Amino acid sequence: MTRFPVHFEPLSPEQLADPYPLYAKLRREAPVFYDEAHDLWVVTRYDDVLAVVRDTETFSSENAVRASVKPLPQPVLDVLATGWPLTPTLTDSDGKVHKRLRLLVSKAFTPKRIAAMEGQIRETVDALIDEFVDDGRADIIEKFAWNLPMFAITDILNVPREDVPALHRWSVSWLRIMQATDSVEELVVHAEDVVAMQRYFVNALEARVDQEGDDFMSNLLGARVADGEPLKLEEAMRVLVNLIIAGHVTVTRSIGNGLTTLLAHPDQLQVVLHDPTLIQAMAEEILRYESPAQGLFRTVRKDSVLNGVEIPAGARLMVHWASANRDEKAFDNPDTFDVTRESMATHVAFGRGIHTCLGAPLARLQLKIALPRLFERLPNLRVVVGEDTAVRDTIFFARGFKKLEIEWDVTDALTV
């Protein structure tokens, strides 16, 4: 077992501010690191991360989004028991169960459906900016960064936009349950939200049973594959919950991370604004440089050896996408933000292997449209200087802002 004097605490103020020096130290000196405090093996090198996600028999996706698998407190379990089991979903299933789910969901969540969203996403971006463009100042997370991906995914799912605030609140509660660090009282409220979200989608799906609809939920219920049963209503509900949550919290973070990264590198921002052919590369580089999903989890099925380190069966392991994306063996000058780098497509911000992000094309489309448009419509955009204007969210495995106050120059030309 590697013992190494490092304090791995993603929620500490220092690591929330800048975790990258720690990742570099781990990659150099303890690439497969056992963190006693969290009872977690942290895998930080690019090649090791790939080795783990490719060996799905040894490294199971069970509890892939749970930092700790300690049982939840009984009052929380009691509330959750009034709903439906939280798993299996795409993200935390293995083998045949995952394959069937992924095939069925892919029948409805098609590249064609995503590509058709472009015009709608452009309209949503402008409509959201219209709401605050005259104000000269806004919390861009609240006013834009979570609304955009929520509208994008709920438009695909054909969910009324007035339900979006509730869906957002329920999604945040779901993440807090996965993290399980809040007080029991708070977790009970989050559990009630999770059950409310389940009920919401069960009702929406029930309304579509035996109907000849052609929207996403109807397609999902109607999806068939050669060697598998169609989705049961409860399974389809879990897919929808999974898509709503995975589909927005990550994009929200990348918008905030993208803005702050571009503002911290004005030369790179100018390069992109003067050469739109670099917009795709900009999106990839933001995802590499400041990965919204810093790492996710695997459960070790059998005694194994990873990069010379023995890991026992039953252990929990964190595959660290963000560290892999800064690995000097995989990227030249990994700590340099460079929108012209050649190896951009090799980043692992969307994961890799059978669980590779299903929504990557949708996420990319939103980033490519939203970020340049914000700079175009909000002249001299900058982060407000002051205390508490840029507040990071406190989710163990994610990196992004809960609040990000920006300001810009308001001129008469903006209001016409």
Residues engaged in binding ligand HEM (CB under 6 A)? 53, 61, 64, 90-91, 102, 153, 242-243, 246-247, 250-251, 254, 287, 292-293, 296, 321, 349-351, 355, 357-359, 362-363
> β-strand 316-319 against 40-43: which pairing, if any?
parallel
- In whole angstroms, how close is the CB of 175 to ligand HEM at the nearest point? 13
Instruction: Pick the closer one to ligand HEM by CB: 188 or 254.
Output: 254
Tokens of 384: 């407000």
Instruction: Pick the closer one to ligand HEM by CB: 187 or 317.
Output: 317
Instruction: Pick the closer one to ligand HEM by CB: 188 or 319.
Output: 319
Cα–Cα separations (whole angstroms), residue 32 to 22, 46, 55, 118: 13, 11, 16, 41
**DSSP letter string over 32-94?**
EEEETTTTEEEE-SHHHHHHHHH-TTTEE-TTTT-S--SPPPHHHHHHHTTS------STT--
Cα gap 147→413, rounded to integer Å: 25
Instruction: Pick the closer one to ligand HEM by CB: 187 or 235.
Output: 235
- In whole angstroms, how close is the CB of 232 to ligand HEM at the nearest point? 18
- In whole angstroms, how close is the CB of 290 to ligand HEM at the nearest point? 10
Place of tokens 């995914």: 153
Half-sphere exposure of 19 (CA within 13 A, CB side): 31
Written as one letter, the residue type at 60 is: S
- In whole angstroms, how close is the CB of 365 to ligand HEM at the nearest point? 9
Instruction: Pick the closer one to ligand HEM by CB: 64 or 369.
Output: 64
Place of tokens 């308001």: 410
- In whole angstroms, how close is the CB of 276 to ligand HEM at the nearest point? 20
Decide: 265 and 369 in contact? Cβ < 8 Å.
Answer: no
Written as one letter, the residue type at 48 is: D
Instruction: Report H helices in 133-276.
Output: 140, 147-157, 164-179, 184-206, 216-222, 233-264, 266-274
Q: Which residues contact 276 (CB under 8 A, 6 or more apart)?
A: 372
- From the list 353, 333, 331, the residue with the least C-alpha distance to 344 is 331
- In whole angstroms, how close is the CB of 322 to ligand HEM at the nearest point? 10
Instruction: Name the residue with the smallest CB distance to ligand HEM.
Output: 359
Instruction: Pick the closer one to ligand HEM by CB: 177 or 188.
Output: 177
- In whole angstroms, how close is the CB of 156 to ligand HEM at the nearest point? 7
Place of tokens 């992109």: 272
DSSP 142: I
- In whole angstroms, how close is the CB of 265 to ligand HEM at the nearest point? 19
Decide: 37 and 9 in contact? Cβ < 8 Å.
Answer: yes
- In whole angstroms, how close is the CB of 188 to ligand HEM at the nearest point? 27
Cα gap 190→180, rounded to integer Å: 10
Written as one letter, the residue type at 51 is: A
Instruction: Pick the closer one to ligand HEM by CB: 190 or 253.
Output: 253
- In whole angstroms, how close is the CB of 109 to ligand HEM at the nearest point? 7
Decide: 59 and 298 in contact? Cβ < 8 Å.
Answer: yes
